[in-house]
């Protein structure tokens, strides 16, 4: 994505693709952005451990996607303020053995995270009968939502201090314009009930809503058709 600068009042806003030099900052921003997600709070009640786990998890994804040019950021006066990670059509996650090599050292260094893992396992264990059903329902929903030429919005977050400035909208608009030009659909999933109405404004529709979703408040799997395939287009 080429750099684009816009004037927002007295601030300079730039949208561009992220490079490996942005890795640490992007992981930190995404961890902050998802720290209060309801499911994360239940699974990892310790905020320090939750933050560290999210940094590790997002860093793994960033290392995979940055070389593909599908991680986009919004910078305000040169400071990273919002990040979106997209999986391109046909993308498949790295093998489990690769993820283990990537995360093993970082997890071993996080003592507070290690202490919190038993409590997270307890939450999952208590919800095992729901979780098994959830996994199967999610798999079917994702298969439906991701058919054909389709991008996946994996992560989108704005730093708390920059929310309300339209940065997430800017990141979404740029990629969705490309999807419309290519005739590609887009899918996403969210566990925060605040999000579905927001994404509906961008043309997403709920494919599946799972209410009884283990420790999560719910799971919404959504899909957006390209503009030329929508009834209103």
Q: Three-state DSSP class for 29?
A: helix
Which pLDDT score is estimated for 57?
87
Residue 29 tokens, joined: 């921003």
118/215 Cα distance (integer angstroms): 15
Which pLDDT score is estimated for 38?
84
Which pLDDT score is estimated for 117?
54
Domain limits, the chain? 4-229
CATH of 4-229, one of 3.40.1360.10, 3.40.630.30, 3.30.70.100, 3.40.190.10: 3.40.630.30
Length reported for the chain: 233
Which pLDDT score is estimated for 42?
78
Task: Read off the pTM.
Answer: 0.84
Which pLDDT score is estimated for 1?
46
DSSP-derived secondary structure letter, 213: B
Which pLDDT score is estimated for 131?
72
Give me the residues of the chain with pLDDT under 70, please: 1-10, 94-130, 230-233
Please state the separation of Cα 22 from the chain's center in Å: 17
Residue 208 phi/psi, 5° resolution? -145, 135
Residue 69 phi/psi, 5° resolution? 75, 20
Which pLDDT score is estimated for 2?
43
Residue pair 49/109 in contact (Cβ under 8 Å)? The answer is no
Which pLDDT score is estimated for 47?
87
CA distances from 155 to 46, 61, 70, 75, 158 (A): 22, 10, 11, 17, 10
Which pLDDT score is estimated for 81?
98
Which pLDDT score is estimated for 100?
52
Segment holding 167, helix H or strand E: helix 167-182
């Amino acid at each position: 994505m080429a750099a684009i600068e816009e004037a927002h009042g007295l601030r300079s806003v730039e949208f561009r693709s992220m490079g490996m030099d942005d890795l640490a900052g992007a992981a930190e921003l995404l961890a902050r952005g998802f720290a209060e997600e309801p499911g994360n709070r239940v699974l990892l009640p310790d905020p320090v451990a939750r933050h560290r786990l999210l940094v590790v998890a997002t860093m793994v994804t960033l290392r995979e996607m940055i070389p593909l040019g599908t991680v986009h950021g919004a910078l305000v006066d040169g400071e990273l303020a919002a990040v979106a990670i997209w999986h391109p059509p046909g993308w498949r996650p790295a093998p489990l053995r690769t993820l283990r090599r990537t995360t093993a050292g970082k997890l071993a260094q996080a003592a507070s995270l290690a202490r919190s893992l038993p409590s997270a396992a307890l939450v999952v264990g208590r919800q095992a009968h729901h979780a098994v059903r959830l996994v199967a329902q999610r798999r079917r929903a994702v298969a439906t939502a991701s058919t054909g030429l389709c991008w996946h919005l994996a992560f989108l977050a704005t730093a708390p201090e920059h929310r309300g400035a339209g940065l997430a909208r800017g990141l979404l608009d740029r990629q969705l314009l490309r999807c419309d030009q290519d005739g590609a659909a887009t899918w996403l999933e969210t566990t925060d009930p605040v999000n579905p109405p927001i994404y509906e404004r961008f043309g997403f529709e709920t494919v599946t809503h799972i209410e009884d979703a283990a420790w999560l408040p719910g799971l919404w799997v959504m899909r957006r058709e390209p503009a030329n395939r929508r009834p209103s287009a």
